[in-house]
């Protein structure tokens, strides 16, 4: 199975973001002919105030971002793991940070709302309070991609190995991680965490990131990019360059089975008290 990870620099112009996502996906399709494409976290809208996020969110199914993903999947016969988009939740002031997945026919086959909220203080003192604007999910999600079981995660979920273990326990052979990882944490933690999750679960981890600057609350915020694919042995087998673009790689389910046969960690687990 061939995969393509889209790396974007989304901002607060939703129409421009959707158009950029479509152009990058169609470029990857024309040049690489992937079976599966992953967009980054909140590809449709980054920055702005809480009210701006609520205005940009869309009820699912439907809305311009959701519809574009469905149409590209259907037109080009490709699986699309729609990174995440802002979901309007009826009766809720906060929005969902939500992945939607489409098969080759353009049918929605999975939906996942980010579980872990990014409420942290960065090394430079900059504060992030994702839970003020976004409502966390509470359900683990996997889906079948023509014989490959794919697990869903988003960005800050990467720091919680229990979620990745739960995905592996549900049969995941590949785990998608759309992200908007901060530059400050990304330069030290991004690759090592992705490789660790791949090694622990003996899965491919496919991480599509936002890159560059966007405005948040009147100040610039910087994302790390460096979208990459880590294999079940923890090797980085593909990595995007700096800037907007994409990276492609091949996923081999036999590689997953080979690694799990050599080091059968799932069989060696013990319940600790």
The catalytic residue among 114, 135, 152, 206 is 114
114 has catalytic annotation: yes
Contact call for residues 225 and 211 (beta carbons, < 8 A): yes
Note the residue count of the chain.
Answer: 273
> In angstroms, rounded to a whole number, what is the distance separating the alpha carbons of residues 16 and 271?
50
The catalytic residue among 41, 58, 87, 202 is 41
What is the maximal distance between C-alpha atoms in the chain? 53
Distances (CA, A) of 213 to 5, 164, 181: 19, 29, 12
> In angstroms, rounded to a whole number, what is the distance separating the alpha carbons of residues 6 and 248?
9
Joined tokens for residue 261: 């046969």
> In angstroms, rounded to a whole number, what is the distance separating the alpha carbons of residues 164 and 41?
18
> In angstroms, rounded to a whole number, what is the distance separating the alpha carbons of residues 75 and 80?
12
41 has catalytic annotation: yes
23 has catalytic annotation: no
The catalytic residue among 38, 145, 152, 155 is 155
CA atoms within 13 A of residue 41's CA, in its CB half-sphere: 29
Pairing of strands 174-179, 127-129: unpaired
> In angstroms, rounded to a whole number, what is the distance separating the alpha carbons of residues 267 and 15?
48
The number of beta carbons lying within 10 Å of the beta carbon of residue 15 is 10
Catalytically active residues are: 41, 114, 155
């Amino acid at each position: 199975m061939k995969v393509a990870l889209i790396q974007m620099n989304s901002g607060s112009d939703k129409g421009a973001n959707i158009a950029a996502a479509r152009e990058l996906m169609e470029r990857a399709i024309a040049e690489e002919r992937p079976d599966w494409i992953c967009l980054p976290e909140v590809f449709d809208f980054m920055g702005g105030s809480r009210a701006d996020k609520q205005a940009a969110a869309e009820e699912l199914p439907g809305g311009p971002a959701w519809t574009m993903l469905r149409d590209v999947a259907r037109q080009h016969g490709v699986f699309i793991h729609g990174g995440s988009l802002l979901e309007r939740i009826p009766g809720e002031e906060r929005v969902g940070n939500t992945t939607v997945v489409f098969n080759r026919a353009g049918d929605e086959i999975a939906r996942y709302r980010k579980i872990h909220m990014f409420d942290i203080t960065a090394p430079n003192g900059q504060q992030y309070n994702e839970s003020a604007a976004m409502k966390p999910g509470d359900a683990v999600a996997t889906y079948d991609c023509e014989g490959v079981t794919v697990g869903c995660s988003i960005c800050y979920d990467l720091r919680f190995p229990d979620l990745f273990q739960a995905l592996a326990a549900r049969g995941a052979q590949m785990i998608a991680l759309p992200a908007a990882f901060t530059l400050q944490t990304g330069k030290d933690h991004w690759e090592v965490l992705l490789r660790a999750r791949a090694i622990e679960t003996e899965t491919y981890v496919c991480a599509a990131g936002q890159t560059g600057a966007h405005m948040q609350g009147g100040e610039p915020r910087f994302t790390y990019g460096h979208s990459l694919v880590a294999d079940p042995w923890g090797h980085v087998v593909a990595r995007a360059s700096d800037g907007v673009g994409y990276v492609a790689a091949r996923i081999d389910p036999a590689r997953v089975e080979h690694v799990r046969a050599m080091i059968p960690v799932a069989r060696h687990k013990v319940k600790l008290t």
